[in-house]
Amino acid sequence: MPSSVMLDNIALPLVQDVRTHEDQALVSLPVPGMEGAAYQHLGRRPALITVLGMLADDGSLAALEEVRQRFYAHDPLPFSADITTATDVQQVVIDDLQVRELAGRPQQFRYLLRLLEYVPPPPPAPPAQAPGVELDADDFLAGVGDLLGLPGLDLEDPLPPLRGLLDGAAASVTRLSEALRPLAELLGA
């Protein structure tokens, strides 16, 4: 019988079986014109831990209720068991919780927990930057304005310099419409 199995601060009751499943992430890459394939090793997948146990008293049912609350929260939890010392699993997420009542045995239940090793996401990558170049957004936009020959361009509201152009375009469209009116009448439009 496995000895103390702890999930966060909860001692799991009457644990009968603890198993780990670990495997490698390999990708098969076919090589054109050749038999077989090349394999790329992508590291290992998170360990899967299965815990099977019994609930036989009111204290066990209270522990089950705490486990159920942690299952619904889906937060990483500290985990310790003798079997996981070799796998170096520090934290887990409860992936599956199954409870079964045993027929003919009042107040006796079996539970199965499937735990996945929690691997924290990597820190965000720093923004890409050319070596030796240090620009912030304001410097970059000012440089673009200088390259386009638009000094003093108000980058927060680009419409004021363009309003004069839009007014001229609207006047041209009006004159063109008036010039094409006789043609539209001739064609019956």
- With a CB cutoff of 8 Å and minimum separation 6, the contacts of 106 are none
58-89 pLDDT per residue, tens: 777 788 888 899 999 999 999 888 766 666 78
> Is residue 25 pLDDT above 90, yes or no?
no
100-145 pLDDT per residue, tens: 988 877 778 899 999 999 988 888 887 766 666 666 666 666 666 5
**What is the extent of the structural domain holding 169?**
158-189
- The residue among 96, 117, 138 that closes a domain is 117
- The residue among 53, 88, 117 that closes a domain is 117
Q: Which residue has the higher pLDDT, 164 or 136?
A: 164
Q: Is residue 129 part of a domain?
A: no
In this structure, the number of other CB atoms found within 10 A of the CB of residue 12 comes to 22
Gyration radius (Cα) of the chain, Å: 34
Q: Is residue 174 part of a domain?
A: yes
pLDDT tier, 1 (very low <50, low <70, confident <90, very high otherwise) = very low
CATH number of the structural domain spanning residue 105: 2.40.30.200
Domains of the chain: total: 2
- State whether 22 and 101 are in the same domain: yes
pLDDT tier, 93 (very low <50, low <70, confident <90, very high otherwise) = very high
- State whether 18 and 102 are in the same domain: yes
Q: Is residue 97 part of a domain?
A: yes
